[in-house]
Amino acid sequence: MLRFSVFSEKDVIIYQISPEKHYLCTKRNYSMKVEREDINRLKVVLAERKKTNKWLAEQLGKDPATVSKWCTNTSQPGLETLLEIAKCLNVDVKDLLWSSMNKQQ
């Protein structure tokens, strides 16, 4: 799901990625400021496993730039891909995600 809401009086754009996740963009002086939260722990898990983005891209048959975007939380892998990543890294899929419980406190 990708939905856009624009509030012209405030120049605010809300991108709804899923029912739980929203990205807020504010337009000022022709630039967009994106306030987003880190969703996945892929970069951390790769470091723990002593693996590189390039290695993971080769394992998944993906472009290294795509994996880089996942590691910087610029974009997120789909659920099926997340399961493949967990299998490649031999971790539980929960280990690839930041806990939502900590953010609610």
pLDDT in tens, 47-84: 999 999 999 999 999 999 999 999 999 999 999 999 99
pLDDT score for 96: 93
The dihedral region occupied by 11, where left means phi > 0, alpha psi between -120 and 50, and beta the remainder, is left
Residue 48 C-beta-side C-alpha neighbours within 13 Å? 10
User: Average per-residue pLDDT in the chain?
Assistant: 76
β partners of residue 14:
5, 24
pLDDT score for 8: 47
Predicted TM-score (pTM) of the model is: 0.63
- The count of other CB atoms within 10 Å of the CB of residue 40 is 19
Instruction: Round to whole Å and give the CA distance between 101 and 58.
Output: 33
